[in-house]
Amino acid sequence: MSNESIIVLIAACSAVFGLAAWVGLLAVPAWQSYSRVWERVAAVFLTLYTVVAFALAGVLLGALVIWLWAS
Question: What DSSP line would sit under 13-59, residue for residue?
Answer: HHHHHHHHHHIIIIIHHHHHT-SSHHHHHHHHHHHHHHHHHHHHHHH
**Tens-of-pLDDT digits for all 71 residues of the chain?**
899 999 999 999 999 999 999 999 999 999 999 999 999 999 999 999 999 999 999 999 999 999 999 88
In the prediction, which pLDDT does 34 show? 96
Provide the residue range defining the domain that includes 41. Answer: 3-70
Contact 62, 54 (CB under 8 A): no
How far apart (Å, rounded) are the C-alpha atoms in residues 50 and 22? 10
Smallest Cα–Cα separation from 44: which of 54, 33, 56, 58?
Answer: 33
| Count of domains for the chain | 1
